[in-house]
Amino acid sequence: MSTTTTLRVKAAPGFRVDGSALLPVALATQSSDEVARTVLHAGNVTCAAGDLFDVSRSDSVEDDQPALVIEGDAPWLDRVGAHLAEGRLRATGATGDYAGFRMTGGALQIGGNAGVFTGCEMRGGQLTVAGNTGDFAAGALPGDIEGMTGGTLAIAGHAGARLGDRMRRGFVLVGGDAGDFAASRLVAGTICVAGRIGAHHAYGMRRGTLLLLREPEHVPPTFTEGGRGFDVFWQLFVRALAALREPFAATGAASGNAALAPFFTLDSRTLPRRLSGDLAVDGRGELLIAHTGSEGAH
């Protein structure tokens, strides 16, 4: 048996609130009154969760993971799911900045838009955003060396600038467009974009993979044709993407979304165009542009 805690937004407070204390495992061990008294920081002041949310509880015998549901739009609620390690957290509407900050496990699902630094320095788990995200998704805090180092971030809508900046490991899927400097300073990991991509993508890329399902307007001049001979890698890569469908389906999340579906159904027999770079930093990364022409499988 598991406990689901539901926090229903009463009204926007008129100021930004740090929601990092709202974690499913921690709240599951508390009574409704204790949850309502949970202290939330808001700049230099504090408030109680009960001032912002109506609290309710329910038990389920079908799931053994504690869950937390935040009902209603809360674009003022920052750090939703920050440091999440286990359990399930679902926000039915929009959230603020730093959603999933340094999360290491569990599943975080956002039903609307998310702010800047979504999945910032994420280390594990599954984070799904049904809407758009701001700048620096899966990136690093200013001055930090590493961005995302593990887990999977799926964005059904559009991503802002500097997507995956300094990312080192993990998967990022974007069903819509990505802003300027996507995959900038990428150290390792995989970023996949189904829509258009902005200027200066893969700037300073050292290793890792950037997969595009649409031909970009410009290919960076510091990338060179990578040729063929990567058939086995492509087959394994496509298989790894297809394997992401099931865990996202288990969270009731984005696997069925039409924007993300193309990632799970790529043809392993049709090789993409491959370029390597960024040669300006002696990069060994790869830019893959999925085949969209009428040629047969290779």
Question: Residue 139's closest CA among 128, 147, 149?
Answer: 147
On whether both 40 and 84 belong to a single domain, the answer is no
Query: Which stretch of 160-169, 176-185, 273-282 has the lowest confidence by average pLDDT?
Result: 273-282
On whether both 125 and 15 belong to a single domain, the answer is no
Query: Which stretch of 163-172, 177-186, 246-255 has the lowest confidence by average pLDDT?
Result: 246-255
Q: Which residue matches tokens 């937004």?
A: 9
Q: What is the mean pLDDT of the chain?
A: 91
What percentage of the chain carries pLDDT values higher than 90?
A: 82
- The number of folded domains in the chain is 2
Between CA 102 and CA 280 the distance in angstroms is: 30
Q: Looking at the domain assignment, is residue 142 inside a domain?
A: yes
Query: Which stretch of 21-30, 81-90, 98-107, 260-269 has the lowest confidence by average pLDDT?
Result: 260-269
Instruction: Please tell me what DSSP assigns to residue 251.
Output: T
Q: CB-based contacts of 59: which residues, under 8 Å, 6+ apart?
A: 1, 2, 3, 4
Last residue of a domain, one of 64, 94, 113: 64
Average pLDDT for residues 26-51, to the nearest whole number?
94
* Residue/partner pairs of 41-50 with CB below 8 Å, 24 or more apart: 41/17, 42/13, 42/15, 42/16, 42/17, 42/18, 43/15, 43/16, 47/13, 47/17, 49/7, 49/21, 49/22
On whether both 107 and 42 belong to a single domain, the answer is no
58 has pLDDT over 80: yes
Between CA 47 and CA 40 the distance in angstroms is: 5
On whether both 89 and 193 belong to a single domain, the answer is yes
In a 3-state reduction of DSSP, which class is residue 245? helix
Average pLDDT for residues 24-53, to the nearest whole number?
95
On whether both 129 and 254 belong to a single domain, the answer is yes
The model's pTM: 0.92
Between CA 288 and CA 137 the distance in angstroms is: 21
Average pLDDT for residues 129-139, to the nearest whole number?
96
On whether both 128 and 229 belong to a single domain, the answer is yes
Average pLDDT for residues 95-112, to the nearest whole number?
97
Domain ranges, residue 89:
79-289
50 has pLDDT over 80: yes
Between CA 220 and CA 52 the distance in angstroms is: 48
